[in-house]
Structure 1
Amino acid sequence: MKAGAGPAILIDMAAGDELLPKPTGPGGTGNGPAVSRREFDALFASVRTWGRWTPADRGAWNRVTADHVRRAMAEVRTGTVVPMALPWNTRPAPDNKRPALHHMTDLGDVESPEPSTHKDFIAADYHGKGVTHLDALCHIAYRGQLYDGRAAREVVDAAGARFGAVSALGPLVTTGVLLDLPAALGTRWLEPGQAVHADDVIAAEEALDVTIGEGEAVLLRTGGVRRRVELGAWDPDTASAGFHVDAVPLLAERGVVLLGSDGDSDVRPSPVDGVHSPVHALAVAAMGVPLLDNLDLEALSAATAEAGRHRFLFVVAPLNVPGGTGSPVSPIAVL
């Protein structure tokens, strides 16, 4: 383990018992070690890819070539299609403070002319915890700058974003990797507030017999959806499992193009002083890597376990919203 990298996932291969790391963060939440703002700024600079790609507002998605897509298609063996979106959630809850809207606008009660129709309306303030969504590159600024050093105030206004909008991304088709931490640990879920460190990623790769490659999408399963079903909702803004910032250099080195999670990829509480979503800042603003938040990875966990492999064809197509900061999405995996 690198110095200051935090507790690793310990896997006793001889005994077959997996041990959760001991809590080390503030309040015993396991989200540490703490990172100063100065350390974070140095980390931001070290993973920054500004000026690397054209067009810049597609960021790391520029890595994905036709060869990547062909290799992803080769991952399909059984043809099993697994959706990863949460149900459209209109009920208030601790993790759904701004519920989505859905109501009928036409109940087929017009007698003439035929045929009758049924119509509905949906809407969502989707950048929260209740809707599966994609974060575009204009969604996150750090120290006033979007990805590629664009000043946020100059390119984002009430009309939307003129750089880094979701409409610039288009659909992504590549190889997906499920980093199933509970499966690697032999536990039901990670507890809210538990950080996933670089050493944990490597240990999980070994346990799951999978290696993250360049141009691939990485999906982190913490088991939060299963925990919610069994124990009830909690406020994930207060505590949620996710990546510690010390895992980001490894992911940057591997050349990932997208990060997703059944949370929002960040461990909470944040271990970084004065930065509430440090993985968001590093991934989106520094590396140009979009994020998928609030996935349901339970069916994918079961499917990959049955198939005995954790790689698959991954497809996500955001809505074409000019100037949009992201989009509700329904990603799919095909095994």
Structure 2
Amino acid sequence: MSRWKKRPEGSNWGEFGPDDELGRVNLLTPEQVIKGVREVREGRVFCLSLPLDLPGGMALNPRRKPPRLAATERDGVPYMNFPMERLDASSIDVLSDDQVTLSLQYSTQWDALAHVGAQFDVEDDGQASKVYYNGFRAGSDVLNAEPDHAGGTCCDHGPSFGARRLGIQNFAVKGMQGRGVLVDIAKHHGHGRTVIGYQELMAIMREDDVVVEPGDMLVLRTGFAETVVEMAGRPDAEALHNAGAVLNGADGELLQWITDSGIVAICADNYAVEAYPALNQGQKKSLLPLHHHCLFKLGLPLAELWYLRELAEWLQSHGRNRFLLTAPPLRLPGAVGSPVTPIATV
């Protein structure tokens, strides 16, 4: 039985199958991976991740705490520089072993399709329900977390809370490898706050001879992550608010281009990819209309806080804008986001 009778206008629900959990990532085909591989000419590699303890503090998002690294323990003893002779007198080994408590979207990250849903009348009966891409339901497919117990554990039957469907592990299995195409907004608009709509984006792409084809991963350099690095773990919330370009998620032409272009993902070095709050009007609206359009309607994942400076400068100096992009998230069942260490190979 279908999970929905009516799908959102402009969505692709059902087009990749009634139980699809990949959305536009289905277009990341073996042929597209080969296109990415063909962009490798020198074998040079660029890491596109920030250090995962940046931005630092909680100024950027008060929900997300910095990672806390600690040693693993046994019987209250931390295992860092631990002499194994304590366990076996004949051993010459020294062991270090650690663990981390990490907000999965604190730093360089992917959004899963379960990250943003909407209240929508999927039954076409005048009653809105909380749903996600392809009609997956809040409460059954994406489980609730009680206010006094936001934690959960994985078990043989799936997570005790979080995404039973549309979790980040689907992208990990897919691999998230293919052709990346860089649009260097910072080169044209600087590192200050600029709202980029369809016209501005197209002007940059025309000037830099950037061509995007179906199956490509669009990568946007705004300079925001570079400002984060300059702050060295002591972020200034006001300065960050005025740093880096953001997409205008309320621009209908831009959203239609995302639909028509066939891109499979948008990866940006800024926070949230789009302007927040959005520049739209209305009594009932999405505060994040680009997230709504991409994650909820198209199943098109978004990535944030990537670090792109060295890659962008190298590509510019070599007259290129395409590269092999490899960016699988953690294969963590039930998660709605994930840290990632993207790698560009040129």
1:226 match: 226
Verify the 8 A CA contact 1:238 1:268 in the aligned structure 2: no
In the TM superposition, what whole-angstrom CA distance separates every residue of 1:115-151 from its partner, at most 9, and x where no partner exists? 2111222121123xx4111111111111122001222
Question: What CA distance in whole angstroms lies between the structure 2 residues aligned with 1:137 and 1:182?
Answer: 28
**Going by fraction, where is helix more abundant, 1 or 2?**
1
The count of aligned residue pairs is: 286
> Structure 2 matches for 1:165-314, cutoff 5 A?
165-169=167-171, 170=173, 171-183=175-187, 185=188, 187-189=189-191, 191-192=192-193, 194-229=194-229, 233-235=235-237, 241-245=245-249, 246=251, 247-263=254-270, 264-273=272-281, 274-314=285-325
2:150 match: none
Question: What CA distance in whole angstroms lies between the structure 2 residues aligned with 1:211 and 1:93?
Answer: 37
Indicate the RMSD between aligned Cα atoms, in angstroms: 2.2
Normalization by structure 2: what TM-score?
0.77
Q: Which secondary structure state, in structure 2, belongs to the residue aligned with residue 163 of structure 1? A: coil
1:162 match: 164
1:94 correspondence with 2:52: no
144-153 vs 104-113, which moves further? 104-113
Verify the 8 A CA contact 1:241 1:268 in the aligned structure 2: no
Verify the 8 A CA contact 2:219 2:268 in the aligned structure 1: yes
Q: Which secondary structure state, in structure 2, belongs to the residue aligned with residue 152 of structure 1? A: coil
- Paired amino acid for 2:60: D
Runs of 5+ in structure 1 lacking a partner?
1-43
Identical counterparts, % of pairs? 26
Which of 76, 81, 103 is the matching residue for 1:108? 81
Question: What CA distance in whole angstroms lies between the structure 2 residues aligned with 1:162 and 1:301?
Answer: 37
1:36 match: none
Q: Which secondary structure state, in structure 1, belongs to the residue aligned with residue 14 of structure 2? A: coil
- Paired amino acid for 2:298: M
Which of 124, 133, 145 is the matching residue for 1:147? 133
Verify the 8 A CA contact 1:50 1:148 in the aligned structure 2: yes
Question: What CA distance in whole angstroms lies between the structure 2 residues aligned with 1:104 and 1:172?
Answer: 31
What is the Cα deviation at residue 100 of structure 1? 1.4
In the TM superposition, what whole-angstrom CA distance separates every residue of 1:57-116 from its partner, at most 9, and x where no partner exists? 011111121111111110111111111111021741522642111123422232412321
- Structure 1 residues 235 and 241: CA distance shift in structure 2, 3 A: farther
1:82 correspondence with 2:46: yes
What is the Cα deviation at residue 307 of structure 1? 2.0
- Paired amino acid for 2:295: V
1:125 correspondence with 2:107: no
What is the Cα deviation at residue 226 of structure 1? 2.6
Runs of 5+ in structure 2 lacking a partner?
1-6, 73-78, 86-90, 120-129, 146-159
In the TM superposition, what whole-angstrom CA distance separates every residue of 1:195-218 from its partner, at most 9, and x where no partner exists? 111112211111221111101111
What is the Cα deviation at residue 238 of structure 1? 5.4
- Paired amino acid for 1:320: R
- Structure 1 residues 205 and 92: CA distance shift in structure 2, 3 A: same
- Structure 1 residues 82 and 224: CA distance shift in structure 2, 3 A: same
- Structure 1 residues 46 and 77: CA distance shift in structure 2, 3 A: farther
> Structure 2 matches for 1:6-17, cutoff 5 A?
none
- Paired amino acid for 1:174: G
Q: Which secondary structure state, in structure 2, belongs to the residue aligned with residue 249 of structure 1? A: helix
Question: What CA distance in whole angstroms lies between the structure 1 residues aligned with 2:220 and 2:9?
Answer: 23
Normalization by structure 1: what TM-score?
0.79
- Paired amino acid for 2:299: G
Question: What CA distance in whole angstroms lies between the structure 2 residues aligned with 1:307 and 1:46?
Answer: 42
Which of 12, 15, 18 is the matching residue for 1:49? 12
Q: Which secondary structure state, in structure 1, belongs to the residue aligned with residue 237 of structure 2? A: coil
- Structure 1 residues 162 and 271: CA distance shift in structure 2, 3 A: same
Verify the 8 A CA contact 2:57 2:235 in the aligned structure 1: no
